[in-house]
Amino acid sequence: MSSIKDIMNQRVVAVRPETTLADALRVLTKHHVGGVPVVNEANALIGMISELALIDIVFDPATKGAPVSDYMTRDVKFVHPDDSLSRAAQMFALYSFRRLPVVENGSLVGIVSRRDLMNHALESSETLPEPLLELIPELADLA
């Protein structure tokens, strides 16, 4: 059975907490992504910044120079490289995330997106269980 490490992208675009919002927006647009992890000097995941948080700079030019750390989400959900693909599917089903950072030994080592998971499903004959059934078995009675 496949794991996160089999489908994750190891080339992660990330920013530092002192990155300005304007520069973070430039990173998002340059790389065509909707959000990026925020890491410290030790490459430890400390937050996420998304287009939603950055929309403020479109309407308030005074915020362009503010640091990402003022706007990032600090309560970040993540997965480990050895987690099952079902774990990622559960996280995507439970939350409105488009991407999940992959952390190993305290360091950011990759990122996995909903699209990565869907592409794997298209290319693989592997069957994943219904993501929420593992967490809430009573849902099977409703089907």
In a domain, 136, yes or no: no
Cα(19)–Cα(54) distance, rounded to whole angstroms? Answer: 12
Q: What is the pLDDT of residues 9-42, one digit of tens each?
A: 999 999 999 999 999 999 999 999 999 999 999 9
Task: With CA atoms as reference, report the closest residue to 101 among 34, 10, 1, 3.
Answer: 10
In a domain, 141, yes or no: no
In a domain, 19, yes or no: yes
Q: What is the pTM of this model?
A: 0.85
In a domain, 131, yes or no: no
In a domain, 10, yes or no: yes
Cα(81)–Cα(112) distance, rounded to whole angstroms? Answer: 10
Q: What is the pLDDT of residues 54-106, one digit of tens each?
A: 887 778 888 889 999 999 999 999 999 999 998 998 898 888 889 999 999 99
Residue 33 host element (H or E): none
Residue 6 host element (H or E): helix 4-7
44 in Cβ contact with 107 (< 8 Å) = yes
CATH of the domain at 20: 3.10.580.10
Report the number of distinct structural domains present in the chain: 1
Domain range for 111: 4-126
Give me the residues paired with residue 111 across strands.
9, 101
16 in Cβ contact with 68 (< 8 Å) = yes
Q: What is the pLDDT of residue 132?
A: 59
